C-alpha cells in the first residue's frame, strides 16, 4: 500500500514540477523581456524630458530659451538618455547571456533536488510513521506465556 501511495505521489510531484523546469529558452525569454523593459523605461524618461522642454519652449516663446538648448542641458538630458537606452538594453542582454551560461546547470540541479525533496520527504515521513505505529501496537500486545 505504501509503495502504491509513493508511486502516486511521485506522479503528482512530476506533474506539478514539470512545467517550471528552467530551460535555456525560458531564461533567454526572461532576459529579453527585462532588457526591453529597461529600454522602455529609459525611452519614457527621455520622452518626459522632451515633453518638458517643449512645454518650457512654448511658455517662454518670447525669451531666449530654445527647444534645442533645453534638450542639450548638462546632466540627464534627452540626447544622453536616448543614446543610453539601446546600449543598456544590449548590456543587459549580454549580462543575462553570461548568467544563463554560468548558472543554468546549477538552476536545473536545484530544481530537480527540490522535486526529489518534495517527493522523498513525505514518503520517508509516512514510512517512519508506519513503523512507529507498528512499534506501539506491538508494545501493547500481551506476550505469550511460556508453558512449563
Q: 75, exposed or middle or buried, with CB in 10 Å at 0-12, 13-18, 19+?
A: exposed
For the record, the C-alpha cell of 75 comes out as: 546632466
Place of cell 528552467: 22
The answer as to whether 28 is a domain residue is yes
pLDDT of the residue at 110: 92
**Can you give the residue range of the structural domain that contains 84?**
2-139
The answer as to whether 146 is a domain residue is no
Q: pTM score > 0.85 for this model? A: no
The answer as to whether 56 is a domain residue is yes
The answer as to whether 147 is a domain residue is no
The answer as to whether 7 is a domain residue is yes
The answer as to whether 65 is a domain residue is yes
CA atoms within 13 A on the CB side of 115: 19
pLDDT of the residue at 1: 75
**Count of positions (residues) in the chain:** 148
Structural contact between residues 38 and 87, judged by C-beta atoms closer than 8 angstroms:
no
The answer as to whether 145 is a domain residue is no
Tens-digit pLDDT profile for residues 54-110: 776 666 665 545 666 666 665 566 667 777 777 888 888 888 889 888 988 999 999
The answer as to whether 12 is a domain residue is yes
Per the structure, the count of domains in the chain is 1
pLDDT band at 13 (very low <50, low <70, confident <90, very high): confident
d(CA 97, CA 31): 8
pLDDT band at 45 (very low <50, low <70, confident <90, very high): confident
pLDDT band at 148 (very low <50, low <70, confident <90, very high): low
Amino acid at each position: 500500500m505504501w509503495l502504491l501511495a509513493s508511486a502516486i505521489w511521485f506522479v503528482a510531484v512530476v506533474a506539478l514540477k514539470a512545467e517550471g523546469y528552467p530551460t535555456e529558452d525560458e531564461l533567454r525569454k526572461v532576459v529579453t523581456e527585462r532588457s526591453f523593459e529597461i529600454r522602455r523605461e529609459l525611452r519614457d524618461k527621455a520622452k518626459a524630458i522632451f515633453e518638458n522642454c517643449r512645454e518650457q519652449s512654448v511658455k517662454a516663446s518670447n525669451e531666449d530659451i530654445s527647444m534645442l538648448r533645453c534638450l542639450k542641458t548638462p546632466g540627464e538630458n534627452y540626447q544622453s538618455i536616448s543614446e543610453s537606452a539601446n546600449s543598456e538594453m544590449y548590456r543587459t542582454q549580454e549580462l543575462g547571456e553570461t548568467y544563463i551560461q554560468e548558472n543554468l546547470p546549477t538552476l536545473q540541479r536545484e530544481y530537480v533536488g527540490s522535486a526529489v525533496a518534495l517527493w522523498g520527504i513525505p514518503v520517508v515521513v509516512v514510512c517512519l510513521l508506519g513503523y512507529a505505529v507498528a512499534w506501539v501496537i506491538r508494545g501493547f500486545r500481551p506476550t505469550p506465556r511460556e508453558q512449563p
